[in-house]
Structures are given as structure tokens and as C-alpha cells.
């Protein structure tokens, strides 16, 4: 799939559903989702997952892009806020987010979404960074939430 300026969620959702059909391994699902999303939108500079590995702690999971932070406590950064609150974090300017963790100097804006399984357990967060300020909006939050629910909600 060629990279486009703005992702078409109605088009990519069935592609991801088809690629992940019947798979129940969380890491395999995360790797596939990260890859498909990353290459579907030119705004996405870093696309990946941080997994809950112990209470209050996220560790890097499958991703696309440059290096990421290896460990993020729930108390720190945008990813920690999404994990701690269970709410989508839309950040237009990462420099204005209290406690932002600068894993990459190119990141200007960010969206982070909690990832839940069907039992309502937090598996981790999906983190997408952009080198553009104000790159994400509610349309992204809604489209990504639907993909995550369809992919991980069946586990």
C-alpha cells in the first residue's frame, strides 16, 4: 500500500481485518497493525505499541520508524497518560504536554490510544508520532479506536 497524505480508515480497516483474521497472538497483531498504519499515512513518523508488562509499566513492542523509548512508566509522558487514564491522548504540540518524554527530537505532535482486549484488560497503547504540529484530530482518534477494538477486542 502506497503512503498517502491522509489515511482512509474505511479502506484500511478491512485490510487490517483480513490480515489479522484468526490470529490470537498479541505481538503478531501489534506488528501487523503497526506496519499497515505506518505505511498508510505520510503524517505517521513513528507508529508502534507499548505493552503493559507489569503493573504501571509499559515496554516497547512492535513498531515502525526510528528507535523508541524502551520503558515508560504510567506516570510519565503521553503514553503513560493514555495507559493511566484509559483515554485517547491527542497532543497538538508535544512541547506543551507536561512530562512529555522526548524519545525522538523530530516528534511535534502525537496521538496515543489505549489497547483493550475483549475482557477489558489493558494490553498496552498504540503511539503514533508526527513530525508535523497538530497532525491528528478526532477523526484519527475514532478511526484508530475502531481498528484497535476490531483487532484486539476479540481476544
Other C-beta atoms within 10 Å of 155: how many? 16
pLDDT value, residue 1: 45
Say yes or no to pLDDT of 86 above 50: yes
**Domain with 65 in it: what CATH number?**
3.30.450.40
Q: How far is CA 59 from CA 8, 13, 104, in A?
A: 29, 26, 16
Which domain range does residue 145 map to? Answer: 9-152
Confidence class of residue 98 from pLDDT cuts 50, 70 and 90? confident
Backbone angles phi, psi at 152, to 5 degrees: -100, -20
In a domain, 74, yes or no: yes
Average pLDDT over residues 49-69: 96
Residue 27 lies in a domain: yes
Do the domain assignments include residue 68? yes
Instruction: Please indicate, yes or no, if residue 4 is contained in any of the structural domains.
Output: no
Cα gap 44→64, rounded to integer Å:
9
- Residue 122 confidence (pLDDT) above 70: yes
Residue 59 lies in a domain: yes
Number of domains composing the chain: 1
pLDDT reading at 87 higher than 90: yes
The answer as to whether 3 is a domain residue is no
Amino acid at each position: 500500500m502506497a503512503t498517502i497524505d491522509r489515511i482512509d480508515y474505511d479502506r484500511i480497516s478491512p485490510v487490517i481485518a483480513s490480515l489479522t483474521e484468526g490470529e490470537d497472538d498479541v505481538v503478531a497483531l501489534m506488528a501487523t497493525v503497526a506496519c499497515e498504519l505506518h505505511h498508510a499515512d505520510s503524517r505517521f513518523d513513528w507508529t508502534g505499541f507499548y505493552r503493559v508488562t507489569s503493573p504501571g509499566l509499559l515496554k516497547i513492542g512492535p513498531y515502525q520508524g526510528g528507535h523508541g523509548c524502551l520503558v515508560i512508566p504510567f506516570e510519565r509522558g503521553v503514553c503513560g497518560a493514555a495507559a493511566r487514564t484509559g483515554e485517547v491522548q491527542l497532543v497538538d504540540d508535544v512541547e506543551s504536554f507536561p512530562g512529555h518524554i522526548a524519545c525522538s527530537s523530530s516528534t511535534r505532535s502525537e496521538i496515543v490510544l489505549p489497547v483493550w482486549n475483549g475482557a477489558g484488560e489493558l494490553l498496552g497503547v498504540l503511539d503514533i508520532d508526527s513530525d508535523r504540529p497538530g497532525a491528528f484530530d478526532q477523526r484519527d482518534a475514532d478511526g484508530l479506536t475502531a481498528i484497535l477494538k476490531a483487532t484486539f477486542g476479540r481476544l
